[in-house]
Amino acid sequence: YNDGQIVRTWTQRGTIHVVNAKDVQWMTKLCATKTLSSFTKRKEYLDINDHQYDLALWYLQEYLSSWPKLRKDIGLYLEQSGISIQAGLLYNILCYAGSSGLIVQWPIIDEKQAFVLTSQRIKTTTTVSDTDAVRELCLRYFTSHGPATIEDLQRWSGLGKTLLKQWI
């Protein structure tokens, strides 16, 4: 973890996973679509509009451009920039940014997870076609979680059963 071979990020279901840094981009692209679509309802619940959310992401990207920052420092920076982080909004901003592939958690600073722009941390990625990505995810899941069912894989990945059945 400390040398950056693995990172923590939201590759699927809005849940933080530990992932090989080289696999973050294809796994996030494959699995985070459903998570990203759920943010429409989250924004309504948090009473924040698209412009405010986009502005928060812009400030996050600007702040992280000067390397890793702790969550508490990100929250302070957003508040100082006029972005309210009440009622779980900071977590939602970070989750959205991770699910979009913008950020990952790395390194540990003062025994706490820090955040960094994905582009700063991950320089080498595994390129996997969309078709091969589903096959690779299935192979990795059943290799590491067996015995397991397609329903288990569906819950874990957030992907649809029809898509997954093509590869099982």
pLDDT at 124: 86
**Do residues 127 and 26 make contact, with C-beta atoms less than 8 angstroms apart?**
yes
pLDDT at 28: 92
pLDDT at 54: 92
**pLDDT over threshold 80, residue 168:** no
Please tell me the pTM assigned to this model: 0.87
pLDDT at 141: 93
**pLDDT over threshold 80, residue 167:** no
pLDDT at 42: 84
Residues 44-86: tens digit of each pLDDT: 888 888 888 899 999 999 999 998 999 999 999 999 999 988 8
Cα–Cα distance list, 51 to 35, 43, 48, 56, 83 (Å): 19, 11, 8, 9, 11
Residues 13-24: tens digit of each pLDDT: 888 999 999 999
**pLDDT over threshold 80, residue 166:** yes
**H-type alpha helices, 12-129:** 24-31, 33-37, 39-45, 50-64, 71-80, 89-99, 118-121
**Do residues 8 and 111 make contact, with C-beta atoms less than 8 angstroms apart?**
no
**H-type alpha helices, 70-126:** 71-80, 89-99, 118-121
Any idea which of 19-28, 31-40, 154-163 has the lowest mean pLDDT?
Answer: 31-40
Across the range 112-141, mean pLDDT stands at 91
**pLDDT over threshold 80, residue 9:** yes
**Do residues 116 and 67 make contact, with C-beta atoms less than 8 angstroms apart?**
yes
pLDDT at 86: 81
